[in-house]
Structure 1
Amino acid sequence: MAIALQSSMAALSLSSSSSFFGQRLLPTLSLSPPPTSVSSVEKACPIVMKIKRWERIECKPNSLPVLHKMHVKVGDTVKIIAGHEKGKIGEITEIFRHNSTVIVKDINLKTKHLKSREQGEPGKIVKIEAAIHSSNVMLYSKEQDVASRVGHKILEDGSRVRYLIKTGEIVDSVENWKRAIKDKGTEKEAKTT
Structure 2
Amino acid sequence: MTDILHMQVNFADKPCLIMKLKRWERKECKPNSLPVLHKLHVKVGDTVKLISGKEKGKIGEITRLFRHNSTVIVKDINLKTKHMKSREQGEPGQIVKVEAPIHSSNVMLYSKEQKVASRVGHKILEDGTRVRYLLKTGEVIDSAENWKKVIKDRNNDKKSD
Category of TM-score, reference length = shorter chain: 0.7 to 0.9
The 3 A distance-change label for structure 1 pair 184 and 82 is same
Unaligned runs of 5+ in 1: 1-47
Alignment partner of 1:136 is 2:106: yes
User: 1:36-115 residue pairs with structure 2 within 5 A?
Assistant: 54-115=24-85
Larger Rg computed on CA atoms: 1
**Residue 55 (structure 1) shift:** 3.7
Looking at structure 2, the residues matched to 120 and 190 of structure 1 have their Cα atoms a distance apart, in angstroms, of 28
User: 1:96-175 residue pairs with structure 2 within 5 A?
Assistant: 96-175=66-145
Looking at structure 1, the residues matched to 133 and 117 of structure 2 have their Cα atoms a distance apart, in angstroms, of 12
SS of aligned partner of 1:176:
helix
**Normalised by the size of structure 2, how large is the TM-score?**
0.85
Looking at structure 1, the residues matched to 117 and 25 of structure 2 have their Cα atoms a distance apart, in angstroms, of 34
Looking at structure 1, the residues matched to 79 and 134 of structure 2 have their Cα atoms a distance apart, in angstroms, of 28
Looking at structure 1, the residues matched to 128 and 23 of structure 2 have their Cα atoms a distance apart, in angstroms, of 44
Looking at structure 2, the residues matched to 139 and 133 of structure 1 have their Cα atoms a distance apart, in angstroms, of 14
Unaligned runs of 5+ in 2: 1-12, 16-21
Looking at structure 2, the residues matched to 71 and 130 of structure 1 have their Cα atoms a distance apart, in angstroms, of 19
**Residue 120 (structure 1) shift:** 1.2
Looking at structure 1, the residues matched to 86 and 113 of structure 2 have their Cα atoms a distance apart, in angstroms, of 46
Letter in 1 for 2:94: K
Letter in 1 for 2:49: K
**Residue 49 (structure 1) shift:** 8.5
Looking at structure 1, the residues matched to 25 and 97 of structure 2 have their Cα atoms a distance apart, in angstroms, of 26
Q: Give the count of matched residue pairs.
A: 143
Looking at structure 2, the residues matched to 160 and 87 of structure 1 have their Cα atoms a distance apart, in angstroms, of 30
The residue number in structure 1 matching 2:3 is none
**Which structure has greater strand proportion?**
2
SS of aligned partner of 1:128:
strand
Q: Give % identity.
A: 80
Please list the CA deviations of residues 108-142 of structure 1 after superposition, one character each: whole Å capped at 9, or x if unmatched.
Answer: 00000111111211111010100000000000000
What's the Cα RMSD here?
1.7
**Normalised by the size of structure 1, how large is the TM-score?**
0.71
Runs of 4 or more consecutive aligned structure 1 residues displaced over 3 Å after TM superposition = none
SS of aligned partner of 1:162:
strand
Looking at structure 1, the residues matched to 125 and 14 of structure 2 have their Cα atoms a distance apart, in angstroms, of 49
